[in-house]
Amino acid sequence: MKENAHVTFYESVLSSFDKAAALTDLPKGMLAQIRECNSIYQMRFPVKIGNTYEVIEAYRVQHSQHRNPTKGGIRFSHLVGQEEVMALATLMTFKCALVDVPFGGAKGGVKISPRNYTPDQLEKITRRYTTELIRKNFIGPGLDVPAPDYGTGPREMAWILDTYNTFKVGDIDGLACVTGKPITQGGIRGRTEATGRGVYYGLRELLLQKDEMSELGLSPGISGKRLVIQGLGNVGSYTGTISQEEGGAIIVGVSEMEGTIYNKDGIDIVKLMRFRRDTGSIMNFPGTTALANREDWVSLDCDILVPAALESQIHQGNAHSIKAKIIAEAANGPVTSKAEEILLEMGVVILPDMYLNAGGVTVSYFEWLKNLSHMRFGRMEKRFNQNTYSSLVDLVAKTTGKVIGEKERNLIARGADEIDLVRSGLEETMISSFYQIKDVKTKRKKIKDYRVAAFITALDKIASDYTNMGIFP
Ligand code: NAD
């Protein structure tokens, strides 16, 4: 997607990398190696749709194999192109390093608009794409592990798994060839919500920084903050729901394909999603006003903009009109590098994609580990913990002479289920990564923004991997 000054998404990613690289003293050769995409598989394959054959254009890009397997989602969109997939694969390498997920970065893309195909046709395309990946060793538990992205979800991941298993009979770790699967097919509880939940944890942490919030003229805490969300798909819907229900945030605006709606007093996101399911649109949701121009979501009066659709949505043509103090990049690459220069000048804080939407790959990592261990998280310790805590509650009741009610007992005397452990691991990852980035931002004087700080945090880890391998000592 191009903007006025023809800055592509990939150019924006490379420009951020170059800015960060210039602030490190890493060897030039190492930086050059880290910057480039290692393997690019561009494919064309025929699929019979109705009575004719369509030639489908698709990609898988492995940006870095400094850690294996490589990992990254698969996007179905008519806007998919090689450069876009390269940009997304590059981001994945830094995202994984940043949140200590031991994978290299990759991404896949199929240039189709899913709306134009029936589920049967989508299944055919997905299976054929997977076959191409198998033929070239671009998929496998130790090679390259796809996941959902824009336009794909658990259904597509189930088709990928089944196709892989058909060809790789007897591969005991076959389940780990793809993540984001349905629970019944080796998926993990909490994966579908993971990216949105991670966005919530990251945003909540930023909003707890008293000094920064006072510089922005905002009170600390997410409660009562006014959010505008673009894109009510997987990431946007969970970010909205969790921010509203667990954080007390107010969603004042929502932008979707069909238009943008606003209500300064708040839009109940759960009811809105039900309304959209029933009517097929967010428009005319009771209590809201429709904007004349869908694209004007960027200039709505709010505290935080949450772009959760596609890249390059905030560009130099609309950046000046932004009233929000914070941009929470739930989508990948929603702010172009030109727009970022303008926004930083305006004092807007940007929480970068590489950090903020890393919840998806974090929980995908948990799913991959679950598949390799062939056991659900919590199975071994749940009852043991529950019994131990229960004895402890009995002891406290006995020694204090107090009666501990059923409600309190159930709260304390319980062992963790898979979903509890997944959420706990995700929360820990998002919080500890936030402070790693913040530490770099605070300690290195020349770094003024979270994106460069996040790139440098990740770069240092990747560089240390190369050094440990004995390459570029
Ligand atoms: P999705 O397909 O589930 O949802 C995207 C939504 O955005 C759709 O509802 C679509 O109608 C809407 N949309 C598209 N263009 C729009 C526009 N111009 N204006 C308003 N709405 C528009 O996709 P997703 O999985 O939620 O991914 C969204 C973004 O998050 C992408 O950038 C993706 O790379 C990124 N991301 C996704 C995950 C994940 O786990 N799914 C993980 C990390 C990052």
Tens digit of each residue's pLDDT (9 = 90 or more) over 84-96 = 999 999 999 999 9
Is 459 within the bounds of a domain? no
Residue 334 belongs to some domain of the structure: yes
Residue 261 lies in a domain: yes
Percentage of the residues of the chain whose pLDDT score is greater than 70 = 99
pLDDT at 4 over 50: no
For residue 233 and ligand 1, the question of a CB distance below 6 A is answered with yes
Q: For residue 321, what is the enclosing H or E element?
A: none
> What is the whole-number distance in angstroms between the Cα of residue 149 and the centre of ligand 1?
7
Ligand 1 pocket test, candidate residues 61, 110, 150, 181, most atoms within 8 A of CB: 150
pLDDT of 168-182, one tens digit each?
999 999 999 999 999
Is 157 found in the same domain as 269? no
**469: part of which helix (H) or strand (E)?**
none
Residue 245 and residue 97 share a domain: no
Binding site membership of 362 for ligand 1 (Cβ less than 6 Å): no
Is there a single domain that holds both residue 201 and residue 347?
Answer: yes
Q: For residue 266, how many other CB atoms are within 10 A of its CB? A: 15
Whose CA is closest to atom 23 on ligand 1?
150
In short, whether 114's Cβ falls inside 6 Å of ligand 1 is no
Query: Could you tell me if the CB of 293 is within 6 A of ligand 1?
Result: no
pLDDT above 70: residue 2: no
Which protein residue has the closest C-alpha to ligand 1 atom 39? Answer: 149
Instruction: Please give the distance, rounded to the nearest whole angstrom, from the Cα atom of residue 236 to the centre of ligand 1.
Output: 7
Q: Is 150 in the pocket of ligand 1 (CB under 6 A)?
A: yes
- For the cut 50, the answer to whether the pLDDT of residue 307 exceeds it is yes
Positive or negative, the Cα torsion across 143, 149, 152, 155?
positive
The span from the CA of 423 to the CA of 461, in Å, is 25
Determine the average pLDDT of the residues in 379-387: 96
Q: Are 418 and 188 in contact (CB under 8 A)?
A: yes
Query: Can you give the pLDDT at residue 448?
Result: 85
Give the number of the atom of ligand 1 that is nearest the alpha carbon of residue 357.
Answer: 43
Query: Is residue 273 domain-resident?
Result: yes
Whether the per-residue pLDDT at 325 is higher than 80: the answer is yes
- Domain final residue, candidates 338, 356, 374: 356
Q: Which residues are catalytic?
A: 107
Give 154 Cα–ligand 1 centroid separation in angstroms: 15
Pocket test for ligand 1, best of 235, 283, 305 (most atoms within 8 A of CB): 235
Is ligand 1 within 6 A of the CB of residue 309? yes
Whether the pTM exceeds 0.85: the reply is yes
Cα–Cα nearest to 80, from 109, 118, 46, 115:
109
Judge if the beta carbon of residue 357 lies within 6 A of ligand 1: yes
- Decide: 236 and 310 in contact? Cβ < 8 Å: no
What pLDDT does residue 444 have? 86
Amino acid identity, residue 264?
K
234 CA distance to ligand 1 middle (Å):
7
Question: What CATH number did the domain enclosing 181 receive?
Answer: 3.40.50.10860
User: pLDDT band for position 388 (50/70/90)?
Assistant: very high
pLDDT of 318: 97
Atom 17 (ligand 1) nearest CA: 257
Q: What is the pLDDT of residues 113-143, one digit of tens each?
A: 999 999 999 999 999 999 999 999 999 999 9
pLDDT in the model for residue 445: 78
CA of 107 to the centre of ligand 1 (A): 15
Which residue has tokens 């009066």?
A: 301
Is 181 in contact with 157 (CB distance < 8 Å)? yes
Q: What are 409-460's pLDDT values in tens digits?
A: 999 999 999 999 999 999 999 999 999 999 999 998 789 899 999 999 999 9
Model pLDDT, residue 261? 98
Same-domain status, 220 and 259: yes
Cβ 230 under 6 angstroms from ligand 1: yes
Q: Are residues 103 and 229 in the same domain?
A: no
Is 102 in the same domain as 166?
Answer: yes
**Using one digit for the tens of pLDDT, what is the confidence trace for 143-164?**
999 999 999 999 999 999 999 9
- 352: Cβ below 6 Å to ligand 1? no
**CA of residue 259 to ligand 1 center, whole Å:** 15
Q: Do 327 and 270 share a structural domain?
A: yes
Digit-coded pLDDT (tens) for 267-278: 999 999 999 999
Instruction: Determine whether the shortest distance from the Cβ of 69 to ligand 1 is under 6 A.
Output: no
Residues 111 and 255 in one domain: no
3-class secondary-structure state, position 167:
helix
What residue has token string 């995908």?
Answer: 364
- Between the CA of 311 and the centroid of ligand 1 the distance, in Å, is 9
**pLDDT tens digits for 199-227?**
999 999 999 999 999 999 999 999 999 99
What's the domain count of the chain? 2
Q: How far apart are CA 441 and CA 436, in angstroms?
A: 9
Ligand 1, residue 330: give the atom nearest the CA: 30
Does 176 reside within a domain?
Answer: yes
Residue 275 structural domain: 194-356
- Tens digit of pLDDT for each residue in 32-80? 999 999 999 999 999 999 999 999 999 999 999 999 999 999 999 999 9
Of 185, 212, 230, the residue that ends a domain is 185
Regarding whether 227 and 149 lie in a shared domain, the answer is no
User: Is residue 391 a part of any domain in this protein?
Assistant: no
* Residue with CA nearest ligand 1 atom 30: 331
CB of residue 231 inside a 6 A radius of ligand 1: yes
Q: Please tell me the distance from the alpha carbon of residue 95 to that of residue 104, in angstroms, as a whole number.
A: 9
Q: What is the DSSP string of 208-272?
A: T-HHHHHHHT--SSSTT-EEEEE--SHHHHHHHHHHHHTT--EEEEEEETTEEEE-TT---HHHH
Which of 90, 122, 195 gets mutated to test ligand 1 (max ligand atoms within 8 A of its CB)? 195
Are 136 and 284 members of one domain?
no
Residues 174 and 231 in one domain: no
Confidence of residue 109 (pLDDT cuts 50, 70, 90): very high
Nearest CA to ligand 1 atom 9: 233
* Confidence band for 1, pLDDT divided at 50, 70 and 90: very low
69 and 100 part of one domain: yes
Identify the pLDDT of residue 446.
84
Q: Of the residues 356, 375, 392, which one is the last residue of a structural domain?
A: 356
Instruction: Report the sign of the C-alpha dihedral through residues 45, 165, 89, 419, in that order.
Output: positive
292 is a domain residue: yes
What sign has the CA pseudo-torsion 83, 113, 194, 228? positive
CATH number at residue 212: 3.40.50.720
Q: Please report whether residue 118 resides in a domain.
A: yes
Q: Tokens representing 90?
A: 């590059």
